[in-house]
């Protein structure tokens, strides 16, 4: 099925030679839920940066042979990666006792500076268990603090700083930054996370509704 019935009102044609104009980015071709093939188009960018977080991940990440060979641990357990354990001077001089499960016991005088401990599966003792890394957009240090924003200052000062940040990054950009730090600090600094969440909701109510690719003039 063609894309003749698709609404292209908020996008521009994409040209392979010249790309997209300033303020727009390429949206890859895809198939809609109705089966229509939608060609690549230029859509309004929601970030002030030339390269999106998604493209950075796709451009940078190349899995290594070592990462692909990591152990697959059963539920409730996680991999403890291999590491190098260095011997102290006392161990180098006097040695250490090795006790095998078979009952054999013997003394070892190390001849090297250390030994490599192999990776094994160990019990996951984390509070909520170790989960896969969340896909949170790249956070650049000082983007909000340069306007005077900090969770340690009062609400009026924070809102004033966020208004200035909105002028540079746009309401959606500031919302996403606050949403990211809200999630990242939820377990480490709960009191700061609550403030970030409150400010994130304030940005949404003050400048919303926030939607990707909406015309900023409307």
Percent of the chain with pLDDT over 90: 13
Whether 51 is in a domain gets the answer yes
Domain ranges, residue 81 = 66-123
Instruction: Give the torsion sign (CA, 105, 106, 111, 113).
Output: positive
The strand ranges marked E within 20-174 are 24-27, 30-31, 37-38, 41-44, 77-80, 83-86, 96-99, 105-108, 114-117, 120-123
53: in domain? yes
Mean pLDDT of 21-38: 84
pLDDT of residue 32: 81
**130 lies in some domain:** no
Indicate if the pLDDT at residue 214 is higher than 50. no
pLDDT in tens, 127-139: 555 554 444 445 5
Give 95-114 pLDDT, tens digit per residue: 888 898 888 999 988 888 88
41 and 88 fall within a common domain:
no
- Domain tally, the chain: 3
**pLDDT tens per residue, range 35-87:** 888 888 888 876 655 555 555 554 444 455 555 555 567 777 888 888 888 88
What's the token pair of residue 35? 């089966």
- Claim to verify: residue 119 and residue 152 sit in the same structural domain: no
pLDDT at 53: 56
Residues 79 and 55 placed together within one structural domain of the fold: no
Alpha carbons 137 and 118: distance in angstroms, whole number = 34
- Please indicate, yes or no, if residue 140 is contained in any of the structural domains: no
Res 38: pLDDT: 85
pLDDT of residue 2: 53
Q: Is residue 4 a part of any domain in this protein?
A: no
* 96 & 118 share domain: yes
Contact indicator for 19, 41 with CB cutoff of 8 Å: no
In a shared domain, residues 153 and 197 = yes
Question: At residue 120, does pLDDT exceed 90?
Answer: no
pTM over 0.75: no
Considering the domain architecture, whether residues 171 and 188 belong to the same structural domain is answered as yes
Considering the domain architecture, whether residues 99 and 46 belong to the same structural domain is answered as no
Asked if residue 72 belongs to a domain, the reply is: yes
């Amino acid at each position: 099925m063609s894309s003749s019935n698709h609404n292209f009102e908020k996008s521009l044609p994409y040209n392979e030679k010249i790309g997209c104009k300033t303020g727009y980015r390429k949206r890859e071709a895809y198939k809609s839920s109705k089966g229509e093939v939608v060609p690549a188009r230029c859509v309004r960018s929601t970030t002030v940066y030339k390269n999106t977080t998604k493209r950075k991940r796709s451009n940078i990440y190349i899995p290594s042979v070592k990462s692909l060979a990591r152990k697959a641990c059963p539920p409730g357990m996680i991999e403890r990666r291999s590491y190098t354990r260095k011997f102290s001077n006392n161990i180098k001089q006097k040695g250490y006792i090795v006790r095998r499960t078979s009952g054999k016991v013997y003394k070892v005088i190390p001849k090297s500076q250390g030994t490599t401990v192999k990776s094994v599966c160990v019990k996951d003792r984390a509070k909520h268990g170790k989960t896969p890394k969340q896909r949170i957009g790249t956070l650049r240090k000082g983007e909000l603090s340069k306007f005077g924003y900090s969770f340690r200052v009062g609400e009026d000062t924070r809102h004033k700083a966020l208004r200035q940040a909105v002028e540079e990054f746009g309401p959606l950009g500031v919302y996403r930054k606050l949403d990211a730090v809200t999630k990242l600090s939820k377990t480490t600094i709960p009191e700061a996370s609550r403030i970030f969440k409150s400010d994130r909701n304030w940005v949404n109510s003050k400048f919303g509704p926030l939607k990707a690719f909406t015309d900023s003039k409307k």
